[in-house]
Structure 1
Amino acid sequence: MSNLMIDVDNLTKEFKSHSSRSGLKGAFRDLLTRNYTVHQAVDSISLKIKPGEMVGYIGENGAGKSTTIKMLTGILTPTAGNVRINGMNPHKERERFVKTIGVVFGQRSQLWWDIAVQESFRLLKKVYNVSDEDYKSHMGLVIEALDIAPLLDKPVRKLSLGQRMRCELAAALIHNPPLLFLDEPTIGLDVLVKLKIREFLKELNDRYQTTVVLTTHDLTDIEALCERVIMLDEGKIIYDGALSQLKTSWGEGKQIQFHFTSPKTREELLETTGSELVVWEPSENANSWTANVTNDEEVISVLIKDVVADHKILDLKLLETSTEEIIRNIYEEGVIHG
C-alpha cells in the first residue's frame, strides 16, 4: 500500500459546451446538429502529497484549482487519469472515502441556515457516525481553539461571515479526518479572524498530523502555513516545490534600507560600494537611502559590512520581493517552470 496521502497521475478534466451558430440559418442548423467546444480545465496533472504535509495550491482565476479539488474530493469525475486518496478511489469507494476527508468551500455552507450551530454539529455527528466520547474529546478542543462556544446556540443565518467560517471549519473536522481540503477558507475575512484560523490549522497539523491542501488568492495564508506550493496555469502545473525555493529562484534581488546619522550623497555611497555591485535610490529624507542588490548572500554581507565600516547608521532593514509580486511576475512573463 502506498504511503502517500494523495497520489494523482495524469488527471484531466474536460468540459463540453454548446457553441451557437450565428444568424437565423445558423439557428435552424443548431436544431438539427449542434456544435460543441471542449474546454480542458485540468490538463494531465500529476502530484504526490505525503501525510502531514500542508500544501498551497495556487493559480489565477480559471487556472483549474477548484476543478482539481472537486475531482480529488469525488464531486467531479475525471475525464482521464488516476486518483488515489489515502489508498482509495474517491469515485468508486465514495461512502468509505468521505469519512476520511474534511472540505471547506469559502463560498458554500455545509451548515443548516435556520437552526443553531450545535444542532448542525449534532446532525453531522450522526452522518459520520462519530461516538459521543470521540465527539466530546475532539470537538471540545476544536470549539475552544476556534473560540466558537458563544456561537453554538445561534442560528447560522445570524452569524457574521467570520463567525460562520470558523463554524464551517469546525463542522469539517467533526470526524477528525486525516485530510482537509480548504478552498478559499478566508475569503472576505478580517485580519484577526484570519490569524485565528491560521493558528488553529497549525495546531491541528501539529497535534494530528492532518494533511492540508489549501487553495487561496490570499498568499499571506500560504506563507503562514505552507512550506510547499503547487502553481497551476491553464490547467497545467508550472511549479511544484518549496516556497522558499520559489522566492530564491524568482525573487528579483533584495533591497536594503539604510538610515544614516547624517545626510549622504550618491557619490559618497558609491565610493564605498562601487557602481557595479549596487544601485542606490534616495528617499525624501536625505539621511535614508535604499541599496538594490542581487539576491546573493555574499554580496549582501559584503555590502552591509562596507557601509557600516565607512558610515554611521541608525538603522537598516532588509526587504524581500513579496511572494505575491513574484507570482504575479511569473504569470505576466509567461514563465513555465518544469
Structure 2
Amino acid sequence: MVGIVLASHGGFADGIAQSAQMLFGEQDNFAHVILSPDEGPNDIRSKMEDAIASFDDSNEVLLIVDLWGGTPFNQANGLLEDHENWAVVSGMNLPMVVEALTQRMTNPDHTAKEIATAIIEPAKDGIKTKPTDLMPKTEASVQGGAGVAKPAKSIPEGTVVGDGHIKYVLARIDSRLLHGQVATGWIPAMHPDRVIVVSDSVAKDEMRKSMIREAAPSGVKAHTVPIKKMIEIANDPRFGNTHALLLFENPEDVLTVIKAGIDLKTINVGSMSYKVGDINANNVLSMNQDDVDTFRELEKMGVEFDVRKVPTDKGGNMDAILNKAQSLLDEQKK
C-alpha cells in the first residue's frame, strides 16, 4: 500500500486530513505534518521522515504538499533524491486528497507515481463557482450536469438492451443522500454509471435536485426520480446495461419499491437523521416506530442489511440495533 503524507505551512494539512477521514474513516499509512511559525526546514523534514518510518512499507510514498517552492515542498523534494519510487504533488486541496485515498483503496497495486498522476484532474475539477458563468470559459466544460434518467431517444420503446434488467450495484438508506461519503467512498468502490435518488419529496425540490447533480463525481450521472418513476425505469428493458446505485431517505420507500417488484436483496444502511419523536438507535441512525416496523418487515421478506457508513467500516449488527431501538421506543411510550 502506498503511504501518503500531507505537509503544509500551519494547520492546513491537519484540517485536510481530518476532513478526509470524516469521509473515509481512520486510515492506515496516512500521516499529516505541519510547519509551525517557530520551526524551520529541518523540523518539517524530520516530521516527514518520522511519519514515513511509521508506515508498514516505505518503498512507495506519495507526499502531498501545499505550495510549490515552499519549505514543505523543498524538504519533500529533497527526500525524493534517494527514493526513485516516491512522488510529490503540490497544490493540496480536499478533492486531491480524497482521490488519492480513493485510488489507494480501489487500486491497491497502484504505485505512488500512478496515484500522483491520477489525482491531478480531480483536484482541478474540484474548483467550481456559483454562478457557474464565473468560471473561465476554458474551464466551463467541467461543470456540465447530468440529464434526466431516460434512455437515449434513438432506442425505440420496448427494445431490450443487454438482458433487459438494471444492475443494482448498491441500494443505500441515507437521509443525506448523495454526499461526500457516497461520492468518495461508495461510488469508487461499487463503480455505478448512474446514481438514482428515489424520493417523492426531493423530486419536487429543484434546488436539491440541482445539488445532487453537481455532487456526482466525474463520469457518473446523477438523477432524482419519484418512486413511481423508479418503478417504471426498473421495468424498462432499455436500461439493461445500466449499473445503478440507488439512494433512499428512509426504509419505507425501500419497502415500497421492493413490493412493486424491484429486486433488492441487500440494503446498505448508512445514516438516518433525527426527527421529532425519533430515538437514537446509535450515533448515526435515528428511528421511529414506523421505521423499526418497516425494517422488521423487510427482514421477514428476506432482505439483508449491511450497516456501514463507508466501505472500509466494519459492518454493524442490524438486529441488535433494532432491538435497542424498540426498547427505547417502548420506554418513550411509558
TM over 0.5, shorter chain:
no
**TM-score normalised over the length of structure 2:** 0.24
More helix by share: 2
Between Structure 1 and Structure 2, which shows a larger proportion of strand residues?
A: 1
TM-score, structure 1 as length reference: 0.24
- Higher alpha-carbon Rg: 1
